[in-house]
Structure 1
């Protein structure tokens, strides 16, 4: 058993194994009679539903735990929460504000801990992204991907590491103040969205104002306005597919037309959250 806190925890071999597991419709019931704790400090439609169904498909029993029920870091330490949940569950999954809470949980229990989202990374989203691209493009080696908008966030960070691990080429386009501050070697960062999407097979974006950033909304909207993914920008790419981790704010980071176009893969991407979670949970049990 192992943990998945970051994409680096998987590495190229682990990602390949998870994707192979994710593509199998029936992995048996390795979680039969076992519980999986789902701790949510932040709400999410896709993460909760995809992970719960992945647990059910593996024969297990998911238990959704709201932030008020554990008081992670306030009523109880991250270590004590992990020790308590390990008494009942075989896997602990958590969607947290502070990535360090996940690290502390792994140090307190031998049960695997899976990151459902933190301020640092979103590894299961990146696995779903790569799975989607693999289904639509077959060969990931040398595949050109563009990410446009706010690049200094957990989604872009996990995507960057995942792309490098599978041999894809990622270019991030953002204003200088929203560049990925710790971008791995091999990831390009540019100012011009048109340059980023040139010859790209996939164009990806995310919301400009995430949970907890409302006080920055005006500043972000002004700086990121020129980075909207619209029909004109998509036309500059190589007949590209559009990706978005959702939820999307139509008319802000992306137009309604792009979201609803025949080349939008957002619903396949959303479904793949469940398949990727199933593969990841099966992998940590190996």
Structure 2
């Protein structure tokens, strides 16, 4: 059994195993009668729905837990909450603001801890992204991906996955919003047109993430030239568009691109469920 807090926790073989498990149609219910704790400090649409359905598809019973119900870090320490949940559940999944909480929980229990999102990493989104790339091209290695926007938790996990599997990732960010240190093989530019030129995938995310509301005006100014529009997409012939959602239409992406024939956004969203199923199966060493 293994924790999954970041893509950095995985080697190439483990990452490929998770993607293979994500594509597999389950013929039995390996987690029948077992529980999966889903702890949320932040609200979610895709994460809650995809994780609950992935647990059900494996035969498990998902339990949705809000922050106020357990008082993590206030009424009880993260370690004690994890120890309590481990009494009932086979996996503890958490969506938190501070990544250190996940590390504290994982250090306290043998029960696998899964990061559903933290301030620094979003491994489940990266798994869905890589699965989508594999479905679109039949491979991941050598596929050229342009990420346009803030080098946030989504971009970081995607970069780590691309580095492990040999995809070519170019990140276009304004000065001050890119990476200071990136995985091997990941390139950074300032000009979004340069990143998109010849890309097979164009990916973006919101400019103002949850918890950054006090930076809204500053970020809107910094990213004003980074909108993924039809004009930017035209820099590469037949590129597919991806977005981790939710999208702020009219800011980082136009309706024309989101709803266009080369948008794979909804396949990507569905793959959140499939990759969550693959991740949980891998963590417990089961074969669905």
Normalised-by-shorter TM-score class: over 0.9
CA distance in structure 2 between the aligned counterparts of 1:142 and 1:265, rounded to whole angstroms? 19
1:9-28 alignment, distance < 5 Å: 9-26=9-26, 28=28
SS of the residue corresponding to residue 177 of structure 1 reads coil
1:71-90 alignment, distance < 5 Å: 71-90=71-90
Q: Which residue of 2 aligns with 1:176?
A: 175
Flag the 1:196–1:27 CA change in 2: closer, same or farther, 3 A. Answer: farther
CA distance in structure 2 between the aligned counterparts of 1:170 and 1:73, rounded to whole angstroms? 37
**Contact (CA 8 Å) 1:21, 1:27: kept in 2 or not?**
no
Q: CA deviation at 1:71?
A: 1.7
Flag the 1:182–1:71 CA change in 2: closer, same or farther, 3 A. Answer: farther
Q: Which residue of 1 aligns with 2:121?
A: 121
The yes-or-no answer on 1:189 pairing with 2:195 is no
Q: CA deviation at 1:73?
A: 1.4
How well do the aligned residues superpose, as a CA RMSD in angstroms? 0.8
TM-score, length-scaled by structure 1:
0.98
Q: CA deviation at 1:11?
A: 1.7
| Range that drifts further, 27-36 or 112-121 | 27-36
CA distance in structure 1 between the aligned counterparts of 2:210 and 2:71, rounded to whole angstroms? 19
Q: CA deviation at 1:232?
A: 0.3
Q: Which residue of 2 aligns with 1:67?
A: 67
Q: CA deviation at 1:122?
A: 0.3
CA distance in structure 2 between the aligned counterparts of 1:8 and 1:144, rounded to whole angstroms? 21
1:1-286 alignment, distance < 5 Å: 1-26=1-26, 28-151=28-151, 153-286=152-285
Matched length: 285
Q: CA deviation at 1:238?
A: 3.3
Q: Which runs of 4+ in 1 moved over 2 A?
A: none
Q: What do residues 86-132 of structure 1 show as CA deviations (whole Å, max 9, x unaligned)?
A: 01111000000000100010111000000000011000100000000
TM-score, length-scaled by structure 2:
0.98
CA distance in structure 1 between the aligned counterparts of 2:108 and 2:13, rounded to whole angstroms? 27
CA distance in structure 1 between the aligned counterparts of 2:75 and 2:168, rounded to whole angstroms? 44
Q: CA deviation at 1:27?
A: 5.1
Q: CA deviation at 1:181?
A: 2.7
CA distance in structure 1 between the aligned counterparts of 2:28 and 2:200, rounded to whole angstroms? 35
CA distance in structure 2 between the aligned counterparts of 1:69 and 1:27, rounded to whole angstroms? 35
CA distance in structure 2 between the aligned counterparts of 1:110 and 1:140, rounded to whole angstroms? 32
Listed as ranges, the gaps of 5+ residues in structure 1 are: none
CA distance in structure 2 between the aligned counterparts of 1:27 and 1:140, rounded to whole angstroms? 27
Flag the 1:115–1:27 CA change in 2: closer, same or farther, 3 A. Answer: farther
CA distance in structure 2 between the aligned counterparts of 1:122 and 1:92, rounded to whole angstroms? 16
Listed as ranges, the gaps of 5+ residues in structure 2 are: none
CA distance in structure 2 between the aligned counterparts of 1:94 and 1:253, rounded to whole angstroms? 28
